[in-house]
Structure formats: C-alpha cells, structure tokens
Amino acid sequence: MVGAVTTTMVLFSETNSAFGAPILARLADHPQVQLAAVVVREPGHLCDYYLDEPDQVDLAQQASRQGVRVLRPANYQQILREELLAVPACDTINFHPSPLPRYAGLAPFYWMAQRHETEGGVSAVEMTRGLDDGPLVAQQLLRLTGNETAAQIRDSHFRASWRLFDLVLPTLIDRSYRPTPQDSAQRSYFSSPPLHEQPAEMLVDPATQKVM
C-alpha cells in the first residue's frame, strides 16, 4: 500500500490465550502494522482460564511461525508499570470483555453469569496505573437474557471484542480515536472467581477491599 502509514505495535498476552490468538493473527497480517514483538510469560506459566479449551493455543509458537519476536520477561505479572506505559509514542490499549466501568477486574463473564446480568458489553480502554479504569476508547454493549452460563457469556463477549478490535485498529493506526473518561460512580470491580461457590453479591470495592 503506497504511502500508507505504518504503526509499530507490541502485543502483551497470556501464552495460551484463546482471546489473544485471533488478535495476534490480525496484527501480524495487517499491512499497516509492524508487530515488533509478542510478550508472554515465562515457559510453564499458563492462564487458568484457558486450560480446559478443546483447542489449545501457544502464542509464542504462533508468533515465531509468523516471524514475530517473542519476549518472555522474568516475573511478568501482567500489571504494567508506569514507566512501561509511558514508552509508546501513542498509547497502551487494553481490550476488556465487560461494559466498563462495570465489571472491572477478573473473569467478568463468571460474575455476569452469577448475577444473571442482562446488560453486557466489551470495552477498549487506555491503560493506566489502575485496573481497567483508563479512559474509554470504544465500547459495544450486548444484550443478555440473564440465563447464560459463564462459558456462553465468555464466548459471545470474545467474539464481540474481536469485532471491536477490528473497528478500533484503524483509529489506533491513524491516532484518530478520542478517549472519554469512565464514570467512576458506575464502577464495579470483581476479584478472582472463588474456588468454591460463594454468594453472587461478593463484590469487592478496590479502594477499601471490603465486600460491597
């Protein structure tokens, strides 16, 4: 594509992320994206969310096959320091499968199912020092029946996130997106799903660490 703008990007993901694999493929094949590296955790560290997937993926192998450099920093804990967030000339964007500011935190699909949620959604946000609290770049809301399983919500929200990624990517390349602040009054934050069933109202306030 003559005269097209090329944007350099780095993808951070879990090694076995069924969510990240399609995004890696999109970035690696995009004519206006130079995918400089894929960052995953050290060998042997896999995300629990994807251990039961019927078709396991390995983003490190996928990236290597496509000629993309793979970085495995020691002790990568997925929360990026402020110094790293400041490196990109543009921004660091996170695609989160929930209607932020609602359902920030971990496994939103699990908590939506527990609470029989009828209003889902997926979001793209600028990353900040906080968790899922950066300005919104784009969002797509999804209607739910309230009777879906966590797996059904996850699958529908992953598909919606990939569609949202396709819509947002051109605006990241030409930097035409216009982020808007989240409404902190509407924020809800959930921690890891319990090992055993607990009441659905186990909602944790990240500021006080108290159950709401």
Contact 39, 64 (CB under 8 A): no
- CATH-assigned architecture of domain 82-212: 3-Layer(aba) Sandwich (3.40)
Q: What is the pLDDT of residues 73-88, one digit of tens each?
A: 643 445 555 665 555 5
> Residue 204 has what DSSP assignment?
B
Q: What is the pLDDT of residues 155-169, one digit of tens each?
A: 999 999 999 999 999
d(CA 159, CA 146): 18
3-state secondary structure of 36: strand
d(CA 7, CA 23): 15
* Number of CB atoms found within 10 A of residue 184's CB: 8
Q: What is the mean pLDDT of the chain?
A: 85
Q: What is the pLDDT of residues 87-145, one digit of tens each?
A: 555 678 999 999 999 999 989 999 999 999 999 999 999 988 888 999 999 999 999 99
Q: What is the pLDDT of residue 45?
A: 83
195 or 128, which is more confident? 128
Domain span(s) for CATH 3.40.50.170 in the chain: 82-212
125 or 192, which is more confident? 125
Q: What is the pLDDT of residue 83?
A: 63
Tokens of 131: 């968790």
Least confident of 23-37, 40-54, 137-151: 40-54
**Whole-number CA gyration radius for the chain:** 17
- Is residue 27 scored above 80 in pLDDT? yes
Contact 28, 37 (CB under 8 A): no
- Is residue 22 scored above 80 in pLDDT? yes
Q: Which residues contact 79 (CB under 8 A, 6 or more apart)?
A: 131
β strands within 3-101, DSSP E: 7-12, 33-39, 69-71, 93-96
Q: What is the pLDDT of residues 48-61, one digit of tens each?
A: 888 888 899 999 99
Indicate the residue type of 93.
Answer: I
- Is residue 191 scored above 60 in pLDDT? yes
Mean pLDDT, residues 168-195:
92
Q: Is the pTM of this model over 0.85?
A: no
Contact 15, 60 (CB under 8 A): yes
